[in-house]
């Protein structure tokens, strides 16, 4: 046993312990809690006393019919009062969707015309080759005039034109062999401009 | 002529409370409020928590008054509700360790006199587990069996907790005095 001496001293002191005073505000909180709970009770009581509805007279016949024919029961279940709105809504959506698909997918028969463009061989020839025959004719005429003494000046134009022709031929050969690049095309264009300038002067002389 | 609630006997007050007479409920609360608040405060050691316990406890009292079977006094029944409410509010219950009686080793001598204020302060300074057991057994008069049931501990644990509570209390009283 636990040994205690002068236990009555402790008992006297405990009996004399002061009592605490409960704050006055607590009753208001208890009152509010009780009021709220009583209101819940009233709702619960009212919910228990809600009126009873009587089953429709024909319900039992429908039940026995469903028990005898499960398939018709399923169909009736689908078309039950609570489902009717949804079935009607689903039918409306399906019909509307079908009409919209037909309206925008199926167009009336229209004649289809197909035209195939033919190949034009002249378009495939590089434009710098088109006038070579004319140039050759100008050179021939110019030489003839020089030989006949009808022209007195500028054999140099002819020589320069021939040099430009050779340069042009070499550049074209290099383009065929190595492929075209921007620099070669630029050089070729420059040669062509010079040739055109000389040919213009030679033609004026002729 | 209706009798005022202050003159009602306890049974008349109970009957009126069961009829949801708010004045009777208030009178019942007034009769027990300080005792229950003091108990709640000693268990919780916090005034605000004690107020919460008092409020919640009395709402339970009025809601469950129809279950009161008069196997104890009304005061004892309300006290049990308040203690259970207080214990439910303690988030982490203290660890109660059982110690064999032969290990106790020493005795407690209370001397000739204990100053009440010192005792009050010493009780408040006790560790939570010691305080609960000491208050319930020595102040509120519960048995070790009842305390064991309330706290979910064994009777032996309750006894050893009380012994160490008293030793600690004696030390604290000596210190403050």
| pLDDT value, residue B82 | 97
B5-89 placed in CATH 3.20.20.70: no
Q: Running DSSP on this structure, what letter comes out for residue B177?
A: -
More confident residue, A163 or B68: B68
> Is A88 in the same domain as A136?
no
A5 touches chain B (CB under 8 A): yes
Q: Is residue A54 part of a domain?
A: no
Residue A120 pLDDT greater than 70, yes or no: no
Q: Is residue A87 part of a domain?
A: yes
H helices of B45-138, in order, are: 47-63, 74-89, 116-125, 128-134
The model's pTM is: 0.57
Q: Give domain limits for chain B.
A: 5-89, 101-176
Alpha-carbon gap: B25 to the closest alpha carbon of chain A (Å): 9
Q: Is residue A72 part of a domain?
A: yes
| pLDDT value, residue A16 | 95
Alpha-carbon gap: B37 to the closest alpha carbon of chain A (Å): 6
Residue B155 pLDDT greater than 90, yes or no: yes
Q: Is residue A147 part of a domain?
A: yes
Alpha-carbon gap: B94 to the closest alpha carbon of chain A (Å): 23
Virtual CA dihedral for B160, B163, B167, B170, nearest 10 degrees? 150
Express each pLDDT in B4-57 by its tens digit.
888 889 999 999 999 999 999 999 999 999 999 999 999 999 999 999 999 999
Q: Is B32 helix (H, G, I), strand (E, B) or coil?
A: helix
| pLDDT value, residue B169 | 93
Alpha-carbon gap: B93 to the closest alpha carbon of chain A (Å): 24
- Averaged pLDDT for residues A14-41: 92
Chain A positions in Cβ-Cβ contact with residue B138 (cut-off 8 Å): 10, 14
- Burial pattern B73-93, b for ≥16 Cβ within 10 A else e, equals ebeebbbbbbbebbbebeeee
Domain count, chain A: 2
What contacts A150, CB < 8 A, 6 or more positions away?
A: none
More confident residue, A105 or B115: B115
Q: Is residue A12 part of a domain?
A: no
Chain A positions in Cβ-Cβ contact with residue B26 (cut-off 8 Å): 27, 31
Q: Is residue A180 part of a domain?
A: yes
| pLDDT value, residue A60 | 74
Contact between A30 and B29 using a beta-carbon 8 Å cutoff: yes
Q: In chain B, what is the greatest distance between 2 CA atoms, to the nearest angstrom? A: 66
Contact between B58 and A30 using a beta-carbon 8 Å cutoff: yes
* Pick from A10, A20, A37: CB nearest B37: A20
Express each pLDDT in A44-94 by its tens digit.
888 878 777 777 777 777 777 777 777 766 776 666 666 677 778 888 888
Contact between B111 and A21 using a beta-carbon 8 Å cutoff: no
Print the SS3 string covering chain A: CCCEECHHHHHHHHHCCCCCCCCCHHHHHHHHHHHHHHHHHHHHHHHHCCCCCCCCCCHHHHHHHHHHCHHHHHHHHHCCHHHHHHHHHHHHHHHHHHHHHHHHHCCCCCCCCCCCCCCCHHHHCCHHHCCHHHHHHHHHHHHHHHHCCCCCCCHHHHHHHHHHHHHHHHHHHHHHHHCCCHHHHHHHHHHHHHHHHHHHHHHHHC
Which residue has tokens 């505000």? A25
* Pick from A3, A13, A33: CB nearest B114: A13
Taking CA–CA distances from B100, the nearest residue in chain A reads A1
Determine contact, residues A70/B96, Cβ cutoff 8 Å: no
User: Residues in chain B whose beta carbon is closer than 8 A to a beta carbon of chain A?
Assistant: 20, 22, 25-26, 29, 33-38, 41, 50-51, 54-55, 58-59, 62-63, 101, 104, 106-116, 119-120, 138-139, 159, 162-163, 166
A123 touches chain B (CB under 8 A): no
Tokens of A44: 């619960």
A185 touches chain B (CB under 8 A): no
Domain housing A94: 59-105
A32 touches chain B (CB under 8 A): no
Express each pLDDT in B73-126 by its tens digit.
999 999 999 999 999 998 776 777 666 555 556 788 898 999 999 999 999 999
Express each pLDDT in B49-82 by its tens digit.
999 999 999 999 999 999 999 889 999 999 999 9
Express each pLDDT in A124-151 by its tens digit.
555 556 577 778 888 888 888 888 777 7
Tokens of A194: 């010079």
Contact between B110 and A7 using a beta-carbon 8 Å cutoff: yes
| pLDDT value, residue A77 | 65
* Pick from A10, A16, A34: CB nearest B59: A34
Contact between B34 and A21 using a beta-carbon 8 Å cutoff: yes
CATH architecture of B101-176: Orthogonal Bundle (1.10)
- Averaged pLDDT for residues A167-184: 81
A27 touches chain B (CB under 8 A): yes
| pLDDT value, residue A167 | 86
Residue A100 pLDDT greater than 80, yes or no: yes
| pLDDT value, residue A184 | 81
Contact between A26 and B162 using a beta-carbon 8 Å cutoff: no
Q: Is residue A93 part of a domain?
A: yes
Q: Long-range CB contacts (< 8 A, 24+ apart) of B26-34? A: B26/A27, B26/A31, B28/B61, B28/B62, B29/A27, B29/A30, B29/B58, B32/B75, B32/B78, B33/A22, B33/A26, B33/A27, B33/B58, B34/A19, B34/A20, B34/A21, B34/A22
| pLDDT value, residue A3 | 80
Q: Is residue A183 part of a domain?
A: yes
Contact between A37 and B59 using a beta-carbon 8 Å cutoff: yes
């Amino acid at each position: 046993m636990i040994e205690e001496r002068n236990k009555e001293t402790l008992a006297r002191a405990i009996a004399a312990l002061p009592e605490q005073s409960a704050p006055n505000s607590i009753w208001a909180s208890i009152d509010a809690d009780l009021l709220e709970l009583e209101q819940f009770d009233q709702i619960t009581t009212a919910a228990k006393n809600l009126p009873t509805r009587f089953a429709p007279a024909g319900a039992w016949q429908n039940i026995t019919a469903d028990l005898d024919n499960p398939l018709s029961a399923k169909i009736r279940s689908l078309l039950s009062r609570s489902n009717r709105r949804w079935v009607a809504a689903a039918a409306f959506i399906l019909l509307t969707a079908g009409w919209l698909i037909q309206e925008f997918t199926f167009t009336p028969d229209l004649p289809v015309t197909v035209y195939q463009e033919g190949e034009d061989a002249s378009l495939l020839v590089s434009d710098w080759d088109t006038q070579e025959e004319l140039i050759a004719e100008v050179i021939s005429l110019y030489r003839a005039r020089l030989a006949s003494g009808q022209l007195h000046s500028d054999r140099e134009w002819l020589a320069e034109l021939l040099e430009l022709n050779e340069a042009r031929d070499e550049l074209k050969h290099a383009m065929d062999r190595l492929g075209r690049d921007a620099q070669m095309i630029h050089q070729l264009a420059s040669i062509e401009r010079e040739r055109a300038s000389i040919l213009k002067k030679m033609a004026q002389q002729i | 002529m209706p009798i005022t609630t202050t003159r009602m006997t306890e049974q008349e007050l109970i009957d009126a409370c069961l009829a949801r007479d708010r004045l009777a409920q208030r009178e019942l609360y007034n009769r027990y409020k300080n005792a229950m608040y003091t108990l709640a405060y000693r268990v919780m050691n916090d005034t605000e928590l004690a107020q919460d316990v008092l409020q919640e406890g009395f709402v339970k009292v009025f809601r469950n008054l129809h279950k009161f079977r008069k196997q104890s006094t009304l005061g004892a029944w309300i006290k049990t509700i308040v203690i259970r409410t207080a214990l439910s509010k303690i988030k982490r219950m203290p660890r109660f360790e059982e110690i064999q009686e032969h290990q106790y080793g020493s005795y407690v001598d209370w001397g000739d006199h204990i100053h009440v204020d010192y005792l009050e302060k010493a009780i408040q300074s006790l560790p939570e587990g010691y305080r609960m057991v000491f208050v319930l057994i020595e102040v509120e008069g519960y048995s070790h069996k009842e305390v064991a049931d309330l706290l979910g501990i064994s009777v032996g644990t309750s006894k050893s907790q009380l012994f160490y509570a008293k030793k600690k209390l004696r030390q604290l009283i000596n210190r403050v005095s």
